């Protein structure tokens, strides 16, 4: 017989990301962030390869990255609007954790499974931050997919990619809930 955890299920059924632009200081201390990172690291990881890692971005690093977004955006020909939007995510954030997809060579575990594991880490990190009482949001945007930004700004190796940037802070506004998927249109039941 299963041992239900209605409190956990209720959290998952009602969880809601907080817009990054509404997050303000204070952010979790290093001590408060450790259990959040620990929970995220418990994500499914076929083969125990740990094909991901964390880069914790504190305020000075976020401001440096915002300047790099502006520089890279201009070099890439991004619009002023796209540059401002991407830079503001770093300028306004009190703390962020970049989840880095870092697939490992393996004859048994396909790279795509390792990349999906990094995505699972992003969601687990987001949910752990929310469950800890913080406001949090999972973003990426064009800078996260720019090899120049990733290499220069985050020191990523050629085989590494940003799976997501989880912004964490104190929420200042809770937006109304958004429409959720209609399960009947996205679910197929197979009984034979």
Q: Report the binding-site residues.
A: 15-17, 42, 46, 138-140
Binding residues for FMN: 15-17, 42, 46, 138-140
Q: For 98, phi and psi rounded to 5 degrees?
A: -85, 125
Picking from 70, 63, 161, the residue whose alpha carbon sits closest to that of residue 111 is 161
């Amino acid at each position: 017989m299963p041992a239900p955890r209605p409190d956990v299920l209720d959290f998952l059924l009602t969880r809601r990301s907080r817009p990054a632009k509404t997050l303000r200081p204070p952010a979790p201390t290093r001590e408060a962030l450790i259990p959040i990172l620990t929970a995220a690291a418990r994500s499914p990881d076929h083969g125990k390869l740990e094909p991901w890692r964390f880069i914790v971005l504190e305020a000075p690093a976020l401001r440096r990255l915002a300047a790099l977004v502006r520089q890279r955006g201009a070099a890439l020909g991004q619009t002023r609007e796209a540059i401002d939007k991407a830079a503001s995510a770093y300028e306004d954030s009190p703390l962020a954790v970049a989840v880095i997809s870092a697939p490992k060579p393996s004859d048994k575990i396909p790279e795509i499974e390792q990349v999906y594991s990094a995505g699972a880490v992003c969601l687990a990190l987001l949910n752990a931050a929310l469950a800890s009482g913080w406001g949090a949001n999972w973003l990426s945007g064009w800078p996260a997919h720019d090899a120049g930004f990733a290499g220069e700004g985050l020191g990523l190796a050629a085989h590494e990619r940003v799976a997501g940037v989880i912004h964490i802070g104190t929420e200042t506004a809770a937006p109304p809930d958004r429409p959720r998927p209609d399960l009947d249109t996205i679910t197929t039941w197979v009984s034979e």
